[in-house]
Amino acid sequence: MSERKIRVLVAKPGLDGHDRGAKVVARALRDAGMEVIYTGLRQTPEMVAEAALQEDVDVIGLSILSGAHMALVPRVLELLKANGQEHVRVFLGGIIPDEDVSRLMEIGVVGIYGPGTLTEDIIRDVRQAVLGEPAS
Amino acid sequence: MSLTDSVLSGERLALARLLSQIENDKPSGQEALGELFAHTGRAHYIGVTGAPGTGKSSLVNRLAHFYRQPPPGESPFKVAIVAVDPSSPFTGGAILGDRVRMRDLSGDPGVFIRSMAARGSLGGLAPTTASMAQVFDAAGFEIILIETVGAGQAEVDIARLAHTTIVVEAPGLGDEIQAIKAGILEIADVLVVNKADRPGVENTERALRTMLELAHPAPRVFRHHGTFQSIPQGEPTADEDLWVPPILRTVATEGDGVPELAAAIARHRDHLEKSGEWQDRDRARLVAELDMLLQGKLVERWRQGVSDLQYQQIIDSLVARQISPHQAVNELLDGGQES
């Protein structure tokens, strides 16, 4: 009857307090008609995975500017798998050095976005990842 | 193992999935709810409502904490939280931000938090909030805290769903108190003045008390002031059955006043059970739900019998002011019956 609603968890794992980017993305996804669960700052990977499970989200958007992404992201992916939620698509935003990008994509991150990314690109990628819509 | 069996045995992923199926109106979800329904009717549904920014989420967080770690000698309850936030009327999107205030409940297997978008519903809850609460009920959660969208005047659906409705106020909303007194105060079983460490708390409390005294019949006012002697002794007092909403002060961020709030909620539950109101409310809730579902289904079924062309023609005449909305309804219904 109604169209499929995409549910997204936007979280900031780790200790940096810069959540402007996460909020901009959350707002953009909202304006694209998605339901965005915003969890706020200083989440542990365990908290992220637990929220993703309870909320049964399709997508997780992680924002990390602290440089701890190589520790935090693999742990989140591990926990998702352990919870039976390997279908959840994980996106990452923040300051991620090039050499880490390929490694993170290898272990299952669907998209990684740095400064200057257009929100339209993120929306398109999320839609495509969840609904399988072709990228235009 | 079927989805319902998994939910009944406490599997959290199955529970989360079923909640989604119900939220998205999937036939599989309705079927599962049918199987689970016999297991419902045990939990205490506690509604938390109030204007945006009064601290509903923080209060829900503290209450959940209290139920998980009660005073020595009492056993903890399993707590489910259903938190509703508004959907955009234009895009249908939503930011569900209530978890931000509930972060310290993380890691506790006796707590399950689910955020919902209101999805076009105007009464402060989402269309499927009641069904979701029933699933938690069946899954063995004993306390179900239901947080409404930030409410103004008319978002009173929560009173139909909850056994106990808490209305949260905060100091400094004086004008708003004047504005909301007709709608939301009436549904309060417990009134909370949160942020009670802020200036103006006495004024807020006084305004609420004044409204309560105006809103209730005389015997309650007597009870309210504790002057029982003015009620003739030995007479069978219907007054026994009356509940006077207490007004409590809390500072949710610090947890102040939360044990007292929990005690008031427990007293209200007691009152409901002793007065028979528990059953009355249960019945009223189910009737309201039945009516709502029936209306939706009837409209849907009727709509299938009307051609899009006819529907469009009626709308065109309506927009051209050739017929009034009432006449349009009559024409559509007659047309629907004929086809």
Q: List residues bridging with B94 in a β-sheet.
A: A35
Residue B185 above 90 pLDDT?
no
Q: Do both B89 and B236 map to the same domain?
A: yes
What ipTM does the predicted assembly reach? 0.91
Residue A131 above 70 pLDDT?
yes
Q: Do both B267 and B198 map to the same domain?
A: yes
Q: Do both B126 and B216 map to the same domain?
A: yes
Residue B295: inside a domain: no
Question: Number of C-alpha atoms within 13 angstroms, CB side, residue B208?
Answer: 29
Residue B241 above 90 pLDDT?
no
- Helix (H), strand (E) at residue B223: helix B218-225
Q: Do both B28 and B130 map to the same domain?
A: no
Cβ–Cβ below 8 Å for A31 and B99: no
Residue B122: inside a domain: yes
Q: Do both B212 and B310 map to the same domain?
A: no
CA distance B224 to chain A (A): 42
Q: Do both B62 and B141 map to the same domain?
A: yes
Residue pair B244/B223 in contact by the 8 Å Cβ criterion: yes
Residue B288: inside a domain: no
For residue B326, what are the domain limits? 305-338
Residue pair B106/A46 in contact by the 8 Å Cβ criterion: yes
Domain count, chain B: 3
Q: Do both B151 and B135 map to the same domain?
A: yes
Q: Smallest Cβ distance to B93: which of A32, A42, A55?
A: A32
Residue B219 above 50 pLDDT?
no
CA distance B82 to chain A (A): 11
Residues in chain B: 339
Q: Do both B60 and B10 map to the same domain?
A: no
Residue B9: inside a domain: yes
Asked if the C-beta of B12 comes within 8 angstroms of chain A's C-beta atoms, the answer is: yes
Question: β-strand A7-13 against B164-169: which pairing, if any?
Answer: unpaired
Range 33-92 of A in CB contact (< 8 A) with B: 33-40, 42-44, 46-47, 50-51, 53-56, 83-85
Q: Do both B153 and B17 map to the same domain?
A: no
- Looking up residue B84, the CATH number of its domain turns out to be 3.40.50.300
Residue B296 above 60 pLDDT?
yes
Asked if the C-beta of B97 comes within 8 angstroms of chain A's C-beta atoms, the answer is: yes
All domains of chain A in start order, with CATH:
7-131 (3.40.50.280)
Asked if the C-beta of B91 comes within 8 angstroms of chain A's C-beta atoms, the answer is: yes
Helix, strand, coil percentages for chain A (3-state, nearest 5):
45, 25, 30
Chain A positions in Cβ-Cβ contact with residue B110 (cut-off 8 Å): none
Residue pair B148/B84 in contact by the 8 Å Cβ criterion: yes
Find the mean pLDDT for residues B311-321.
93
Residue B126: inside a domain: yes
Alpha helices by DSSP H, listed for chain A, are 20-31, 45-55, 69-82, 98-106, 119-131
Find the mean pLDDT for residues B51-73.
93
Cβ–Cβ below 8 Å for A55 and B17: no
Cβ–Cβ below 8 Å for A26 and B95: yes
CA distance A27 to chain B (A): 7
Asked if the C-beta of B26 comes within 8 angstroms of chain A's C-beta atoms, the answer is: no
- Summarised one tens digit per residue, pLDDT across range B112-124 is 999 999 998 878 8
Find the mean pLDDT for residues B58-66.
96
Q: List residues bridging with B249 in a β-sheet.
A: B193
